[in-house]
């Protein structure tokens, strides 16, 4: 698989501004909602900080469910962000694309951790070829 087949750049897209209401919606006890529009909100503005460095990819599988990433979710990935400790990254290990949490507790022995107990961690050694393709910044999934 080529990286060109893997992502869609997030630039040169038509922006859609949707009304953003001033009042928040209670997720606990009901509250009378006022119908005053505060402003508009673009999902591009909310989810994409650097369009030229951003791409989207669809998640497959269940290894990241405890991080709120489910099969079929769309991940917003920023290639300009540093892949640092505890960040969720898109990476290849020996040519296989993965979405995992990067553990740099021991800088000499990075680990890619699943967020599901049913999946093993990937401990990188001198023989593994790791390449980071960006940091996941946003997860979009249906309710």
Catalytic residues: 63, 100
Distance CA 74, CA 68 (A): 12
The two structure tokens encoding residue 49: 């900080």
Q: Which residue has the tokens 């249906």?
A: 142
- Nearest in space to 137 (alpha carbons), one of 26, 62, 60, 57: 57
Number of C-alpha atoms within 13 angstroms, CB side, residue 134? 20
Q: What 8-state DSSP symbol labels residue 67?
A: G
- Per residue in 22-59, is it b (16+ CB within 10 Å) or e — as a string? eeeeeeeeeeeeeeeeeeeeeebeebbeeeebbbbbeb
Torsion sign, CA atoms 44, 50, 52, 56: negative
């Amino acid at each position: 698989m080529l990286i060109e087949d893997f992502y869609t750049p997030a630039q040169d897209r038509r922006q859609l501004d949707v009304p953003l209401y001033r009042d928040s919606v209670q997720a606990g006890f009901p509250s009378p909602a006022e119908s005053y529009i505060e402003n508009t909100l673009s999902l591009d503005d909310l989810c994409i900080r650097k369009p030229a460095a951003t791409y989207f990819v669809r998640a497959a599988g269940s290894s990241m469910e405890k991080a709120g990433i489910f099969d079929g979710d769309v991940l917003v990935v920023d290639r300009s962000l540093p892949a640092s400790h505890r960040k969720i990254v898109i990476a290849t290990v020996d040519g296989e694309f993965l979405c995992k949490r990067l553990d740099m507790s021991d800088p000499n022995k990075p680990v890619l951790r699943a967020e599901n107990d049913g999946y093993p961690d990937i401990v990188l050694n001198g023989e593994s070829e790791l390449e980071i393709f960006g940091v996941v910044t946003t997860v979009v999934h249906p309710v």
